[in-house]
Chain A
Amino acid sequence: MTGTFVRLKLSVLRNGLRQSTGRRVGWIVGTLVSLLYALGMCVGLVVLRGNEYAPSAAVGVGVVLGVGWAVMPLFVFGGDDTLDPTRLAMLPLRPWPLVRALLVSSLVGVGPLLTFLVVAGAAVSVAGDAASAVAAVLAVPLAVLLCVALSRAVAAANTRLLTSRKGRDLAVLSGVLIAVGAQLVSLAANALTSGHGLERISAFTTVLRWVPPASALDAVRSAGEGSYGLAVAELAWTGAVLALVLVWWHTSLDRLMTRPDASTLQAGPSSVRETRFRLFPEGRTGTVMERQFRYAWRDPRTKAAWATALAVGLLLPLVSAVQDGSVYTACWAAGLLGLQMYNQFGMDGSAFWTVAATISSRTDAYAELRGRALAIAVVGVPYVAVVTIGAALLLGRADAAAETLGLSFALLGALVATGAWASVRFPYSMPQENRFGSAAAPGQTSLAWLSLVGGALTGAVITLPVLGLLIWLHVSGRHGALWLLLPLGCLYGAAFAVLGVRTAAPRLLGRLPEVLTAVSKG
């Protein structure tokens, strides 16, 4: 059975690549780049051998890999459908052999290979004598296995959570989780690569070396230093955690296979409390805003997207404040909220036809886009203001609040404008199955990236004049005039937002069938 699973996985991978040349090229380039990166890390770690910080580096690498693998399913869930055991529910497969087969087939892939390279490098960096070589032979596979098992277990638990009714309401938490997870990974990576990083991490090593899979790597060091008891304890601990993770995965898998499927759940009572937002004006714009807010609350994917934007937008400036960073990181809040304007119609999915069917003039198209932009502005403007002023106060840079706020609003406006354009020009589907809504339908990934990255870059370019003014005022010493950036930035952002939405509206009217086709895939 395990062999069949491995072949199944290879077939799915091969067929996925067979579909389009773009996908094939993207995959090859991505694999090569990450392979080079992993080789670099591996060589770097090997070179570090004998250095006093080598043990800390090894432990750090172990922790980052563990956290990375645990957080990964939250980002790329649904990326690999051999990973989806619910498709096998009809088959008579015993749970433990299924776990084993899934685990082995998960080891086949680029990710595990990269992990193996880095872990092997880390093991070599702390290895010394024959005893540590023995430990390494056990530690490296153990660490890779734990990483893969952890990721599968998190994915299974996550699917289970998100397919239950209450769990779906918890989707909002996933945003926070992603934010915190991403911060942890980036903090750890920064700490490792920056100058004083290794010193900083050494302080925590005594604790971190007990965090699996780092504990396996530290066992190599312990064995090399002659502390065989400690080495055995560390290896045994890693093994015990692996066993626990496997039991957890097994339990989730068992529940997942016998859970109600989505079609049954929808038949359940879903009486929603009827709330009317009386604040919104009559007419299409108000109706659209109301619908957008209902969706942001009720649709788990939209909810998760908003929660992620709000959480990351708050966390980045906060982390920066803690690290005495720049006050301008507060612009992230505006950036992330502005990105919500991208692919507006993708979240509608095939239901977009109801929108398309009711747009019969430029005025309708404009009202539709304006409603969507205003829904973002209603949340975005006060949020950006609070985060920016808060960050400035925390950093003791209250004097810089006005200019940062001006820059933020200019950016928000620019992103709303380019977002409106990108939504009309480069729409793409977001499959229902991906509860996190971060991935596009197969074959549209490059389009999604083009839309998002191209749009964000254009947005940044549009903001350049405001940034230029800010820099010029600083360089030329006209600090007294910096407050002017606030009204200017507001006006600039608002003007661009209005211009973007106004010019995108006629395009939307002309492209309704194309947009509908693009968003109804998957």
Chain B
Amino acid sequence: MPNASVAPAVRVHGLWKRFGQQVAVAGIDLTLPAGHFVGLVGPNGAGKTTTLSMVTGLLRPDHGLIEVGGADVWRDPVAVKSRIGVLPEGLRLFERLTGRELLAYTGRLRGIPGAETDRRAAQLLDVLDLAGAANKLVVDYSTGMRKKIGLAAALLHNPEVLFLDEPFEGVDPVSAQVIRGVLERYTGSGATVVFSSHVMELVESLCDWVAVMATGTIVAQGPLAEVRGQAPTLQDAFLTLVGARDRGPGQDLDWLGGASRS
């Protein structure tokens, strides 16, 4: 169980990122406790991916401090990368490797001994239901299979914190259930999972800690029940938080529907 004396899994202070004129992340402060299943939610374009990329050492921030497990990410990104696992949004993989080869090389490049890599890879492939496709090229994988092999590559070195950007986007229900099972088992052992999503039902059913982002800022963070507050569901709380409550359907689509079609 989470312990107050343990360093938070992620601590972010005054984080900024600008792309030209647009501010993608506007000075956020965020503390994610270790040992939790954390959901980072927000509408499209809120800055979730940008934040996760900066936290995982994949995108250099303009300003701000990021610590993962007490270590400054941007002072030594390589050291932090060896302690975390990442499933990035774009998920660029070596397309011309088979699933098994991809894991084999990933493990070896992370410095895990060959035999141990292969043992872990075989188990992961098995648990993730990829054993049958282990010798197929990644280029021929479906979206769900790609997410699963990406997850396997991210878990291979048993990271302290796992960051997943939209892990369930475009994934079929069967694969989603498999991914869910693996993640629950992983957090059950005391590790931390941070994942971004805009599917509220999913976040509500999986996470016990939530951070809500909108237009580059954190509008709420804390235990799920606290963020949800009096609202019946997280979805309702979320819509209120991001100010999308009163946005009803427009009055000026009078041509839509009705009898006259052209």
Closest Cβ neighbor of A258 among chain B residues: B60
Contact between B56 and A90, CB atoms less than 8 A apart: yes
Cβ-based interface call for A461 (8 A): no
List residues of chain A with CB within 8 A of the CB of B109.
1, 4-5, 88, 91, 93
Cβ-based interface call for B45 (8 A): yes
Q: Can you list, as one digit per residue, whether each of A1-39 has a CB less than 8 Å from chain B (1) or not (0)?
A: 100110110011001100100000000000000000000
List residues of chain A with CB within 8 A of the CB of B56.
90
- The listed residue (A7, A87, A90, A94) touching B94 by CB distance below 8 A is A87
Within 8 A of A (CB), among B111-141: 137, 139
Compute how far the CA of A93 lies from the CA of B79 in the bound complex, rounded to whole angstroms.
Answer: 9
Within 8 A of B (CB), among A74-112: 81-82, 84, 86-94
Interface segment among B16-24, B34-42, B228-236: the answer is B16-24
Contact between B59 and A260, CB atoms less than 8 A apart: yes
Instruction: Give the A-B pair count, Cβ closer than 8 A.
Output: 100
Q: Can you list, as one digit per residue, whether each of A57-87 has a CB less than 8 Å from chain B (1) or not (0)?
A: 0000000000000000000000001101011
The tally of residues in A whose CB lies under 8 Å from a CB in B reads 36
Q: Can you list, as one digit per residue, whether each of B99-114 has a CB less than 8 Å from chain A (1) or not (0)?
A: 0010001101110000
Compute how far the CA of A62 lies from the CA of B91 in the bound complex, rounded to whole angstroms.
Answer: 40
Compute how far the CA of A19 lies from the CA of B53 in the bound complex, rounded to whole angstroms.
Answer: 34
Q: How close is A80's CB to chain B, nearest CB, in angstroms?
A: 9
Contact between A90 and B88, CB atoms less than 8 A apart: yes
Cβ-based interface call for B93 (8 A): yes
Cβ-based interface call for A283 (8 A): no
Cβ-based interface call for B8 (8 A): no
Compute how far the CA of A259 lies from the CA of B89 in the bound complex, rounded to whole angstroms.
Answer: 14
- The listed residue (A7, A165, A263) touching B49 by CB distance below 8 A is A263
Cβ-based interface call for B158 (8 A): no
Closest Cβ neighbor of B54 among chain A residues: A258
Contact between B21 and A269, CB atoms less than 8 A apart: yes
- The listed residue (A12, A82, A90, A263) touching B89 by CB distance below 8 A is A263
Task: Known A91-B106, A264-B53; judge A16-B58 contact (CB<8 A).
Answer: no
Contact between B81 and A91, CB atoms less than 8 A apart: yes
Q: Can you list, as one digit per residue, whether each of B163-184 has a CB less than 8 Å from chain A (1) or not (0)?
A: 0000000000000000000000
Contact between B79 and A92, CB atoms less than 8 A apart: yes
Contact between B22 and A268, CB atoms less than 8 A apart: yes
Closest Cβ neighbor of A97 among chain B residues: B78
Cβ-based interface call for B190 (8 A): no
- The listed residue (B44, B79, B86) touching A90 by CB distance below 8 A is B86
Best-surrounded residue of B22, B45, B93, B96 (most CB of chain A within 10 A): B96
Q: Can you list, as one digit per residue, whether each of B59-101 has a CB less than 8 Å from chain A (1) or not (0)?
A: 1100000000000000001111110001011101111111001
Compute how far the CA of A87 lies from the CA of B109 in the bound complex, rounded to whole angstroms.
Answer: 12
- The listed residue (A8, A16, A81, A261) touching B53 by CB distance below 8 A is A261
Cβ-based interface call for A447 (8 A): no
Closest 9 CB pairs of A and B: A92-B82, A92-B81, A258-B60, A268-B19, A15-B96, A4-B108, A90-B86, A12-B96, A92-B78
Chain B residues engaging chain A, CB cutoff 8 angstroms: 19-22, 24, 44-45, 49-50, 53, 56-60, 77-82, 86, 88-90, 92-98, 101, 105-106, 108-110, 137, 139, 154
Chain A residues engaging chain B, CB cutoff 8 angstroms: 1, 4-5, 7-8, 11-12, 15-16, 19, 81-82, 84, 86-94, 165, 257-265, 267-269, 442
